[in-house]
Homo-oligomer: A and B are copies of this chain.
Amino acid sequence: MPDSIKVGERVERVMVVSKMVRRDFSGGKFLLFQFNDRDGVLRGVWWDPTEEAETSIPANDVVRVQGEITEYQGALQLKVSWLEKLAASEYDPTVFLPATPRDPDGLLEELMEAVASIGNEHLQELLRRIFGGDGFREVFLRAPAAKAWHHSYIGGLAEHVRDMTVMARAASKVYPEVDRDLLLAGVLLHDIGKIEELSVTNHISYSDRGRLVGHIVLGVEMLERHLAQMEAFPAELALRLKHMLLSHHGSLEHGSPVLPMTIEGMLLHYLDNLDAQVRGALMALERVGGEPGWTEYVKLLDRYLYRGEAEESEKGSDE
């Protein structure tokens, strides 16, 4: 809990109920809580709770709670006066999870700019339908790009896609043979299934469909649902785009049911891989401890990473 919280203060906070126990006393019953949010842990007690509270609040639910800070056995305790369960749409997940340091609206704006730059009218319409869909914006900006590696935080998906669009534009200049519009559309849509694969409440987890179907096929299904409503969309173009989503992991053993067989599919894979690996390494360099100059062994990369000599870290200053 933040140091600023003081005994006697009245608070209203959104927290997750990590434990709840019912106790009886002569005059009735009370509930003992352990609440968590990103600031840490807070114990609580609710005397004479509502009837429904006890039964309807399983552990791990997110609640809005009001009350007063008291002290009990030398530690702070929240004396609850009111508490209600919240639906996923009623709270900001960044209360519990780390989020991209970048401005979400700025990220989205950059993506919409990329959409606007697409000359092919079919692809442009498709992207406008998807990105402009009802509620899509909220869901998309909330999504991480992975559960436990690169971009595994709120907004990670948007950040990953935005960074890839920048490099995709450079690549399409280097390889004029590439259909730039198709490449950009593939970049924008390649991980769209992550929205359904990963469930983001107060923690990131896989949905049942996420595990049993996987984000690649879930993404293709989302694409098909939109294409089904666009009669004029050229079949060949749809096939090429679908192929890019299916093949973007680059190899069967990484979960793509087919290998990339078009230039746009190959580029999508290599750009995706580059951004995932480099972002993952940057996160490891930032977060992981270790000896001077080095991180601990980073399992997902199967290596140590070198931070360099202390002097070197100031290298930027005089250059």
Contacts and interface: CB of A to CB of B under 8 A. Distances in A.
Interface of A: 119-121, 163, 166-167, 169-171, 173-175, 177, 179, 181, 208-209, 211-214, 216-217, 220-221, 224, 234, 236-237, 239-240, 242-243, 246, 252-259, 261-263, 266-267, 270-271, 273-275, 277-279, 281-282, 285, 293-294, 302-306, 308-309, 311-312, 315-316, 319
Contacts of A181: 319
Given A174-B166, A259-B302, A217 B214 contact: no
B257 A306 contact: no
B212 A306 contact: yes
A282 B211 contact: no
A309 B237 CA distance: 10
B213 A305 contact: no
Contacts of A255: 252, 257-258
Nearest to A244: B212
Nearest to A259: B303
Contacts of A271: 274
Nearest to A306: B261
Question: SS class of chain A's interface: helix, strand, loop or mixed?
Answer: helix
A209 B239 contact: yes
Given A167-B171, A214-B257, A278 B303 contact: no
A277 B270 contact: yes
A311 B212 CA distance: 18
A240 B308 CA distance: 9
B174 A167 contact: yes
Given A169-B170, A266-B277, A319 B120 contact: yes
Nearest to A305: B261
Contacts of A170: 166-167, 169-171
A319 B119 contact: yes
Which of the listed residues A121, A212, A252, A270 has the most CB atoms from chain B within 10 Å of its own CB? A212
Contacts of A252: 252-255
A224 B222 CA distance: 12
Contacts of A214: 246, 257-258
26 contacts: A166-B170, A169-B170, A170-B170, A170-B171, A175-B279, A179-B315, A211-B258, A211-B261, A212-B239, A212-B243, A212-B246, A213-B246, A214-B257, A216-B257, A221-B224, A234-B312, A237-B312, A243-B306, A252-B253, A253-B253, A259-B303, A262-B308, A263-B281, A267-B278, A270-B273, A271-B274
A163 B304 CA distance: 30
